[in-house]
Amino acid sequence: MISRPRSIFFSIHVPINPHFVALLEQNNNYLAYLIAGLSPIIAISFFVASARDPGYLRQQHNFLELLTKIHPSEMCPDCRVLRTPRSRHCAICNRCVERFDHHCPWLNNCVGYRNHSAFLTFLLSLITCLFAILVSCI
């Protein structure tokens, strides 16, 4: 599920940022150290969010037996699993995900129950890093 070349490029490219060297030369040390400190957090949270299972639902019972006991709307016809209240079927992954948020094309993975915190950490650290770069350009 993870796009290996993209994640390897991302984890190598971010810490070797030419903007970091330019900040050190301009005496903006606090911004340079902020960007340098956020770069590993961005890379690690990206890798964790893209590699971790988002909370795929597993088939635990016989599908035909459950259809006689449970209303068919509570079952996923594609995955043949019992749905939880906030689970949804991802058309791209072709699997049901518990507390499905969305399928992220950057991660090449769904964002769900088990990787939502890593995804939010990735987004917040990336936005903070981009904001620091923007401030340093002014």
Q: Which residues are catalytic?
A: 104
DSSP string of 30-53, one letter each residue:
HHHHHHHHHHHHHHHHHHHHHHS-
SS3 77: coil
Q: 22 CB contacts (<8 Å, ≥6 apart)?
A: none
Q: What is the DSSP letter of 83?
A: P
Q: 117 CB contacts (<8 Å, ≥6 apart)?
A: none
Contact 45, 118 (CB under 8 A): yes
Q: 90 CB contacts (<8 Å, ≥6 apart)?
A: 96, 97, 100, 103, 110
